[in-house]
A and B are shown apart, each in its own frame.
Chain A
């Protein structure tokens, strides 16, 4: 396996160098997507399947889609303005940074278990058996509450840049192959998202992975036919975007009002609360990523009134 690890690591370095030095931005983006996939493999090898899933779904696929959408704005063919390859100054800086990091890391105790044992002892009280889900929604659920706030904030930022409410309009693709494939894929994607969401309680998966699969489904559907999107009104889109934060806040306020500490839930209730939060969060994450994608395409119709 050492050989495999070596190939993955060397491949990542090679890809990184290549994507930074090639002149064609489209090529860079494609290389970046492959880099994300290798990164996901690396996470698998590091025994972090949850992070691997997130990396593949968000780090590689979603970010790739966002970059491609952004690239669309620099038509016809985007080239880097400054010469090929990273400059000497940034190479020196990164080299120094890498050196300091490597030195500090090598001096660390070889087996850093972190809080793994503590989490393993307490996980039975959380109502879920996947320790990652336990950390995200129970031990450090408060972090996740704020992170869901960050996601809504990201959607707000994109919407505010257009200064108007979104009115999802894309030029629908006329490709028969694409539309036939999407018709076939959509139900599978939705099912996969539901599965990831449900299985997250006991195995790798959860709201973030499910949300990004859902976003993939949303985006594919938007590429083929936009009719369904305008059938959902702007107001309803806003509710979907805010659902994750709303349910999380309701859980927070509910726990406070019932006299326990913020977001304190245990056992059987815990599983139900966590599932409710994750379902709403997955929907919001999917919608947020769709907004980011549409914002990047510059195709959000903007016909509201101006601010300020």
Chain B
């Protein structure tokens, strides 16, 4: 049992959080070491899964339904990998960003890392609720970290939204438990049918998680929260935290709720996703602050992810759609973090985050400028970036499924992304600057490394998708037979 990276993936960040709290002045050091250990543990898990396949491990020696089990199919290491990459990058960037090594950022961020890992490894919908609680609370504290009134207001609003979302989710969990006497995903899958309790549970849990995922029209809280947080926190929130509730939503819809309901809500999800792409894109064009532009771009990207539902409901295109969305998740996480970090550098140097003040920032910070450009390429979905692979697969899926209208959404989204990214890039390149660039080297090169990774991951698609396909997650037997 010692050979169980799953347990250590939860224990290590929690222990690191406690240590960073006890020895606050060593926070940065503990954080970076913990991020590196985390990366090694994820690599270990992936190595084990390549030989063993899907892993399922009892906790406390009790099997489900009485106990809780760790579970990892291809989707889990995929998300863990993404969290691990962002973890290392955030730690390195934050060490430069927070001048005080004893910043509260470190213990709180480590709590968030533990919650994320635990969520991606659980097979138990109640345990997932506990993870959501830890995740929500740590996110709130991170948003409030700067302590200015805007940040506090955004944090408080996010707190209410997050609590409301969690409670709706919990309501669904308790309905499912009273109907079926289990909270284990696999057991539930074989037990659920279209009873009123299941329908109500599906509705409650979906609303709760959509609120946390910020799918249009429930995205209202996201731009202020993500834009007012310190740069490394914005990077984590947009890159990772939004995807945690999305992950749970995907697990529920693809692995718990009956196929017939799936088929009937899939078009609705697609429609909301399309609306998010268009609405978020237009809003991003209208913003006057750099971080708000980047935050609205997250609203857009969340929209893309929901195109998975209508396309996966079609038997011919499920494969392409799954891989496309999963690649977009990875591309967005990496590119969006890079974008927020680069934007953070501009703001640090310019001393303002208004677009009009960005004149010449690019010449002062050529590296950050280049990283923002590269991140933009991946977010727009231009070749050869990871974002391109994702979008291309979704594009082909829409055409194969005969649902051409999604290609219009994808193309419109790409054009809008190009437009709002140039709104940041063009003033920054406008005039030679007289700004003195004084930011640490780690802050300069971390977004660059991430943005480069975002482009290079486009070349590694076949190898990486092999990991994702272990156990073929997100492939609902029910949706395959119930497709239109």
Contact = CB atoms under 8 A, between A and B. Distances in A.
Do A and B bind?
yes
Interface of A: 100-101, 103-105, 107-109, 112-115, 118-119, 122, 138-143, 145-147, 149-150, 152-154, 156-157, 159-161, 163, 165, 235, 238-239, 241-242, 245-246, 249, 252-253, 256-257, 259-266, 305-308
A160 B66 contact: no
8 contacts: A104-B197, A122-B62, A146-B115, A160-B145, A161-B141, A253-B15, A263-B59, A307-B145
A266 B108 contact: no
Contact of A146 (B65, B130, B145): B130
8 interchain residue pairs of minimum CB distance: A160-B104, A264-B61, A104-B200, A157-B141, A262-B7, A107-B196, A112-B178, A307-B103
A142 B66 contact: no
B21 A139 contact: no
Q: Which one of B4, B62, B130, B196 has the greatest number of beta carbons of chain A within 10 Å?
A: B62
Contacts of B196: 103-104, 107
B11 A256 contact: yes
A153 B138 contact: yes
Given A149-B134, A239-B22, A161 B195 contact: no
B62 A139 contact: yes
B161 to A, nearest CB: 15
B340 to A, nearest CB: 16
Interface of B: 1-2, 4, 7-8, 10-11, 14-15, 17-18, 21-22, 24, 57-62, 65-68, 97-100, 102-105, 107-108, 111, 114-115, 118, 126-127, 130-131, 133-134, 137-138, 140-141, 144-147, 171, 175, 177-179, 181-182, 195-197, 199-201, 203, 230
A139 B60 contact: yes
A141 B24 CA distance: 28
Given A249-B18, A256-B1, A107 B197 contact: yes
Contact of B60 (A114, A141, A149): A141
B1 A260 contact: yes
A156 B59 contact: no
A242 B100 contact: no
A67 to B, nearest CB: 16
Contacts of A156: 21, 104, 107-108, 111, 141
Contacts of B22: 235, 238-239, 242
Contacts of B97: 308
Contact of A115 (B18, B66, B137): B66
Contacts of A157: 108, 137-138, 140-141, 144
B66 A119 contact: yes
Given A115-B181, A261-B57, A252 B127 contact: no
B140 A143 contact: no
B95 to A, nearest CB: 12
Given A103-B200, A153-B141, A252-B11, A308 B1 contact: no
Given A138-B62, A139-B66, A239-B22, A161 B144 contact: yes
Nearest to A154: B137
A108 B179 contact: yes
Contacts of B145: 160, 307-308
Given A139-B67, A149-B111, 6 more contacts: A105-B197, A154-B137, A242-B22, A253-B11, A256-B7, A305-B100
Q: Which one of A115, A149, A160, A259 has the greatest number of beta carbons of chain B within 10 Å?
A: A149
Contact of A140 (B7, B18, B67, B182): B67
A237 to B, nearest CB: 11
A231 B171 CA distance: 45
A157 to B, nearest CB: 4
A153 B137 contact: yes
A161 B147 contact: yes
Contacts of B195: 107
Contacts of B103: 307-308
B108 A261 contact: no
A263 B67 CA distance: 11
B133 A256 contact: no
Nearest to A114: B181
Contact of B14 (A149, A305, A307): A149
B104 to A, nearest CB: 4
A153 B111 contact: yes
Contacts of B57: 261
Q: Which one of B66, B105, B147 has the greatest number of beta carbons of chain A within 10 Å?
A: B66
A246 B18 contact: yes
Contacts of A101: 171, 200
Contacts of B60: 138-142, 261-265
A105 B114 CA distance: 35
Contacts of A257: 2
Contacts of B61: 260-261, 264, 266
Contacts of A122: 62, 66
A251 to B, nearest CB: 10
A176 B102 CA distance: 42
Contact of B181 (A112, A138, A238): A112
Nearest to A248: B14
Contacts of B141: 153, 156-157, 160-161
A168 to B, nearest CB: 17
